Amino acid sequence: MAFRAPRSLVAGDRVAVIAPSSSVAGEVNRPRVEAGIARLRGWGLEVVEGEHLWASAPASELAGGDVDRAADLARAWSDPSIAAIICARGGYGMQRLLPVLPPGTLSTGQGKWLVGFSDVTPLLHRIAGEAGLQSIHGPMVAGLSDGEEVGTESLRALLFGELTDAPLLTGLTAWRDGEASGSLIGGNVALLAASVGTGDLVATRGGIAFFEDVGQHGFVLDRSLTQLLRAGWFDGVVGVLIGDFTMDATPAEIELVLRDRLLPLGVPVWAGGTFGHAILNRALPHGADVALGGGELRLS
């Protein structure tokens, strides 16, 4: 697996903010997104709002109709003046958007960074598989104003190509010690499992699987991981990286499920990654070549 990185941003670049999943029009999320847009402008970027950014669909929490949300994504991706696309928030709706996205949309143009996580997970995989591009699993616009500054800065550094030799993650705990290197592939466990059979998922063979999740009971997490195992998604994986699991179960129960499902893979397993739905959400380059071991994750 080899995925190329889009070009780094520079001050003055235009970036699109779109809402491909849940609505951001409500009194809770609109101020967060507006503050996040102000943060992007503070980075010297020109923000272009998607046509349906502030839309909401009747009788649902979606940011407008499926076709409208897909059109915003397609328009931003095909516009050569847009250097990056940053999703406003996750929630729900990506699985409805992707089937109506015009075929071949993501394989056109020179490509650009797309930022998102959680419900955006299938889109990160579609970009890797269809365009051969890396993307960013990291803070979305709604989290730029109230997330931990370390996570926000990690996104800015990735977008602007300012990463040095500093590791992407530190302080990892070995559940099975060892070193591994390969493409970093993963996302939200629930969305990964829900994507089995869609053709969207990038295989982890020869790569390092990473994931996080939120708001699930232990048996639901077990079911999702079991689905991925049975579907062969972990076949040939060389390492596993576990992020934040802010769940509807005790940390001890979640750890038991993760150990039970993942340690039999027989590859290095490192936990404690500071990415996911907690207030500290470090940005990670989905599809990048990385090295895992010694309590750290680094670009390789």
Structural tokens at position 33: 């997104």
Q: Is the pLDDT assigned to residue 208 strictly greater than 80? A: yes
Domain for residue 2, yes or no? no
Residues 38 and 145 in one domain: yes
Residues 133 and 199 in one domain: no
Q: Per-residue pLDDT averaged across 199-207, rounded?
A: 97
Residues 149 and 25 in one domain: yes
Say how many domains are in the chain. Answer: 2
Residues 19 and 95 in one domain: yes
Torsion of CA 255, 258, 262, 263, to 10 degrees: 20
What is the three-class DSSP state of 175? strand
Rounded Cα–Cα distance for residues 121 and 148 (Å):
21
Residues 143 and 191 in one domain: no
Reduced to 3 DSSP states, what percent helix, strand and coil does the chain have, rounded to the nearest 5?
A: 35, 25, 45
Residues 180 and 240 in one domain: yes
DSSP state of 282: -
Residues 181 and 142 in one domain: no
Catalytic residues: 118, 212, 277
Residues 72 and 192 in one domain: no
User: Quick count: other Cβ atoms within 10 Å of Cβ 271?
Assistant: 18
* 190-224: burial string, b at 16+ Cβ within 10 Å, e else: bbbbbbbeeebbbbbbebbbbbbbbebebebbbbb
* 92-130: burial string, b at 16+ Cβ within 10 Å, e else: ebbbbbbeebeeebbeeeebbbbbbbbbbbbbbbbbbbb
Give residue 152's pLDDT band: very low, low, confident or very high (50, 70, 90). very high
Q: Per-residue pLDDT averaged across 259-280, rounded?
A: 97
- How high does pLDDT run on average in the chain? 96
Domain that holds residue 122: 14-159
- CATH number (domain holding residue 191): 3.50.30.60
Residues 134 and 194 in one domain: no
pLDDT in tens, 273-300: 999 999 999 999 999 999 999 999 999 9
DSSP state of 287: T
Give residue 165's pLDDT band: very low, low, confident or very high (50, 70, 90). confident
Q: Is the pLDDT assigned to residue 101 strictly greater than 70? A: yes
Query: Residue 224: how many CA atoms within 13 Å on its side-chain side?
Result: 22
Residues 77 and 111 in one domain: yes
What local confidence, expressed as pLDDT, does residue 249 receive?
Answer: 95
Rounded Cα–Cα distance for residues 223 and 28 (Å):
32
Residues 143 and 82 in one domain: yes
Structural tokens at position 255: 């750890």
Residues 147 and 211 in one domain: no
